[in-house]
Amino acid sequence: MFGFGDKNKVHKVTIANTGETFEVTGKINLLQAAQNAGIDWPCDCKVGSCGTCRAVLKEGKVKELADFAYTLDGDMLKEGYILACQSSLKSDITVELDKSQKAVEATKM
Ligand code: FES
């Protein structure tokens, strides 16, 4: 049935490099949905400032809940990185995720 607006829309997430999939219902963010699904998704601050939760968006569209450019540098943005804790889904998506990655600051040193 339709008519629920965006609230109950379900989008599918595929993590290309691990083969894991999970669903995001409504407006919860990508990180929250991954954790609800029991996915071991790296994260730290959960407010968009550390970059630990970043993933490369390969297919699909997300809505930026905060400007990624505050946290991710130009090269990362060009490579298609998104912040899972600051993304809600506009479509089904496919991402690549390095589960061993650390905060962005740590990788710049
Ligand atoms: S968990 Fe820190 S930016 Fe997402």
User: What pLDDT, on a 0 to 100 scale, did the predictor assign at position 107?
Assistant: 67
Please write the tens of the pLDDT for every residue from 49-96.
999 999 999 999 999 999 999 999 999 999 999 999 999 999 999 999
Report the atom number in ligand 1 closest to the C-alpha of 84. Answer: 4
Report the atom number in ligand 1 closest to the C-alpha of 42. Answer: 1
Whether ligand 1 lies within 6 angstroms of the CB of 52 is answered as yes
Which domains are present in the chain? 10-102 (3.10.20.30)
Report the atom number in ligand 1 closest to the C-alpha of 48. Answer: 3
pLDDT level of residue 108 (50, 70, 90 thresholds): low
What value does the mean pLDDT of the chain take?
A: 92
- With a CB cutoff of 8 Å and minimum separation 6, the contacts of 78 are none
- Residue 61 DSSP code: -
User: What pLDDT, on a 0 to 100 scale, did the predictor assign at position 27?
Assistant: 85
Whether ligand 1 lies within 6 angstroms of the CB of 51 is answered as yes
H helix runs in 1-109, sequence order: 30-36, 74-79, 104-108
User: What pLDDT, on a 0 to 100 scale, did the predictor assign at position 1?
Assistant: 46
The pTM of this model reads 0.90
Cβ–Cβ under 8 Å, residues 17 and 96: yes
- pLDDT > 70: percent of the chain: 90
Choose one of 45, 87, 97 to mutate for the ligand 1 pocket test, by most ligand atoms within 8 angstroms of C-beta: 45
